Amino acid sequence: MTDRYAVFGHPIAHSKSPLIHAAFARQTAQDMTYEAILAPLDGFAASVAAFVAAGGRGANVTVPFKEEAYRLASRLTPRAEHAGAVNTLVFGSDGILGDNTDGAGLVADLTRNLQRTLNGRRILLLGAGGAARGVIEPLLDQQPAALVIANRTVSRAQELAEQFGRGVRASGFEALDGAFDLVINATAASLAGELPPLSPRIFTADTLAYDMMYGRDTPFLAFARAQGAATADGLGMLVEQAAEAFHLWRGVRPDTAPVIASLRA
Ligand code: ATR
């Protein structure tokens, strides 16, 4: 019987995950299907239960259900535990395993696809919501020289910095001044077409500005480019987090480069 996988979200119609996983399955000759499921806002757990009852083997979880998926899982990987959110579920006879592949996806995109070294570098993470929280631990594992979390609501950045420890510092946007090697935008500002109030001095010609959003140029990337920085959107992260999930489910690692290239085209 063909193994079934799905992504749960709300909304979900524009998700690229079915395309990505279909490409991985073709490439690695896996007998599986992957569909997009619109879960009602108050019916995530029931949707997942129905999918499991129908033979579902695993799932991805996207906005706004990642925290609920964290609570639904009967077991968590350490990286999901740290993230406080789950984007990948594995359904087994012994219950539901929850993992979070977002941070690993970001690090894979930065280090493998974009060829950036994070070890010993100064990293600035903008935002203190779920998207930011999910990538902190994997970034710290790369042993940067500094990791600063800056957020509009400074107290949220402070909470995250205290929780993770390991030298993480918190800041407001306006207080940022020195240059960073990597600036990651994990705020929801790009969704609204807005730019956090950043000093141009955080960017140099050697900086990589990375927006977790993909699909269009953002005010953040345009501003960074105007200061001479290199820029990247979050499409590579999307494909790499999918590859991590695929590996967890199927035990094979797909080649992400052709999938990223075809999505760009
Ligand atoms: P997500 O799961 O996408 O991270 P979230 O938990 O709602 O969503 O967090 C949204 C993040 O984007 C927060 O860091 C938020 O800042 P606040 O904590 O101050 O609310 C940030 N954000 C949203 N809109 C923003 C804007 N227009 N400018 C700057 N930051 C913004």
pLDDT 10s digits, 193-220: 999 999 999 999 999 999 999 988 999 9
Q: What is the pLDDT of residue 216?
A: 87
Q: What is the pLDDT of residue 145?
A: 98
pTM of the model: 0.96
Domains in the chain and their CATH numbers?
A: 3-100+236-264 (3.40.50.10860), 103-233 (3.40.50.720)
Tell whether the model's pLDDT for residue 56 goes beyond 90: yes
Q: What is the pLDDT of residue 6?
A: 98
Instruction: List the catalytic residues.
Output: 66
The ligand 1 atom nearest the CA atom of 192:
27
Number of C-alpha atoms within 13 angstroms, CB side, residue 22? Answer: 10
Q: What is the pLDDT of residue 71?
A: 98
Sheet harboring 182-185: ordered strands across?
169-171, 146-150, 122-126, 182-185, 208-211, 230-232
The ligand 1 atom nearest the CA atom of 128:
14
- 198 C-alpha to center of ligand 1: Å? 15
Tell whether the model's pLDDT for residue 1 goes beyond 90: no
The residue to mutate among 61, 106, 152, having the most atoms of ligand 1 within 8 angstroms of its beta carbon, is 152
E strands, 151-207, in order: 169-171, 182-185
- 153 C-alpha to center of ligand 1: Å? 9
* Average confidence (pLDDT) over 132-141: 96
Over the chain, what is the mean pLDDT? 97
Q: How far apart are CA 86 and CA 107, in angstroms?
A: 17
Query: Which residues share a beta bridge with 95?
Result: 92
Q: How far apart are CA 208 and CA 111, in angstroms?
A: 12
* Average confidence (pLDDT) over 124-132: 96
The residue to mutate among 100, 126, 151, 174, having the most atoms of ligand 1 within 8 angstroms of its beta carbon, is 151
Alpha helices in 41-169 (DSSP H): 44-53, 66-72, 78-83, 102-108, 130-140, 154-164
Give the residue with greater pLDDT, 42 vs 216. Answer: 42
* Average confidence (pLDDT) over 120-139: 96
Q: What is the pLDDT of residue 108?
A: 98
Q: What is the pLDDT of residue 181?
A: 98
pLDDT band for 177, please (50, 70, 90 cuts): confident
The ligand 1 atom nearest the CA atom of 194:
27
